[in-house]
Structure 1
Amino acid sequence: MFTVLLVDDEPLVLEGLKFMVDWQGHGFRVCGEACDGEEALERIAELDPDLVVTDIRMPILDGLQLLERCAADPRVRSRFVILSGHEEFSFAHQALRYGVVNYWLKPIDTDEIHETLRKLREQWSEERCQPPVTLPQPNPSPQPEREFPVTGISEELCAAEDGLFLAIESGEGERIVQGAELLATIVRRSFADPAWRKSYLTHFLLELAWKTSAGETGEEMTITGFEAAQELPFFPTDEEAWERQLADLCREAADRLAAQRAKAGPAGEAARYVRRRYHEPLKLQDVAKALHFQPAYLGQLFKKHIGMSFLDYVHRTRIEEARKLLRRTDLKIADIARAVGYADPELFTAKFRQFMNVSPSQYKKS
């Protein structure tokens, strides 16, 4: 049996997790509970659980702070799952730094939880059966803290990413497979540490999830609804298999985009216009004129099919591109604001915080 600690400041959620989830049937035993991050730290030190399921928003010490504290403590061997009612991508982005194995959204989906537990049990049972590894003697000289280099990535990687995104948008299956193979190959060549390689691909898949959720209908795709974010922690040891899984996930994203476009009609045309020219001043009247529609009619169609106003979509598209620049470059915030179409850096910061729940500088550091 693997042990699990449940952490949430809502008693009803704790009760639901205990009684709705078939822990025992999937090889797990609930060994304790905690109502905030500070209490969770004490329980982790006391119980040494295999798995910690923790809420994000809690008093005293929140879930991300708990992850940070545990990641800095070499005595903590527990793995973590994030549980939250908030679907912001920024939470998952920050949590990835600490190696979370999954991200569950409230209300509780027992089928999703059971599938995660099944995979964890298989993976961890296999790890327990491996022969012990003789560790090398520690180097007495101080070593720099390891961080995944999320900014300033090479032009080769940027080109491979962009090429794969274009293949997904075009829906060309052969190009998607070739692009996935190329990206995985360059990632292996670029990062010596397997953890960095997996982290890089995780960021790419989150970027893909964001792009798909910001597609051409109002059908939002949540973190847990996108298989990439669920499956990546369970990639096999054999990295050659990553290419096939990456290609499969990219094909699924391409199929979803194609379905979105089929339903969006003129609103989809307007959305594509915005995504091509987001860095320019954009007004609904000008886009309607370019596409030969009445502005009021196009605005109504846009709201109906895209699920948000034209102006909100412009802002969201700009923030999407800003996220890419924050991850890839060392440009100043003001320069990024101008690059994505904001003359006023303060407006850019406000809109970024609105969509990402963190400031651009916080996102860059996360």
Structure 2
Amino acid sequence: MLVDDEPLVLEGLAFMIDWEGHGFRVCGEACDGEEALDRIQELNPDLVVTDVSMPVMDGLQLIEHCTKALKASCRFVILSGHDDFASAQKALTYGVLDYWLKPIDIEEIHATLGKLHSEWSHPYGDGTAGSPPTAAPLEAAWTVPDAGDPLFDAEDQMLLAIKAEDGATIDEAAERLCRQLQLSFGGDGEAGKAFLSNVLLELLWKVMDGEVTNSAPGGEHDLSLPVLSNRADRWPDVLASFARKAAEQLARQRSVTGPAWEAARFIRERYREPLQLQTIARTLHFQPAYLGQLFKKQMGMSFLDYVHRTRVEAGRKLLRRTDLKIAEIARMVGYADPEQFAAKFKQWMDMTPSQYKNG
């Protein structure tokens, strides 16, 4: 069920997302929280995607009422604009499954739906289908069915905690992720350390995705990958410290606006398409040469480098989390030629896609 006070957003969610391809069907829509309450009781949906800022009753009030008063079995995903990230802190306590940012990222939504379909189709890991798993509100935010991948889920919750900019939630997410590392890898400290290194890199790329070099006071940055000790008992503190700095960096980035930032956001939203500086410059009403110079000054890299880096990051995540062939991933992230994808991947990651996938 979809809930948003903007008709265009509802239309976009309904028609741009391949719900049925991931085992879902849109059963209804609502334009505010109060209407959504009636529709939820009428339709009993499994999943509710709701905006935060709405008239009459906002998204968080809707989730709270459904969780505490109605005891509804449905689960929630938050849909929010840039200024609503602080709401994630409260949303976590109600077991929100994910936090989607406007404008919508189709790939991110499809990835979430695919994971939920896998988990909800076999919630007990024995091939028995059933309803979405339920749990106490706070515990539900961290509980993952056996059929899912608990490590990737813990990593996703770590990112959600960073977006919420809440220190206590970050600390808890770091502890849970490191405990899961111990459970998954047991005594294999090297494997656990390698996975955590990838997590740190994933978080760094996520935060730096919209980096503006002048966003920090004095142009200084303290966000760099930490050195991991061989002692696993020290990992939670290292991870939590890095995550707190990442949250601070995100907060600084959100305060920055301007044509370079808008161009970077355009790239992140449409990196799968052929992109040219001239096209974006016309859209933003700037001369291409001026925008290119401004982009490099503020973003710390050229327009084309930013396009390739964004595509490589998207490909890196698919290599980690799927069994798709490299040629398929190349096409999905905007490269018609897999060889070009491999070359750019090696340029940014210092290894080939095959080495990364098998490493």
What TM-score comes out, normalization by structure 2 length?
0.49
1 or 2 for the larger relative contact order (CA 8 Å, sep ≥6)? 1
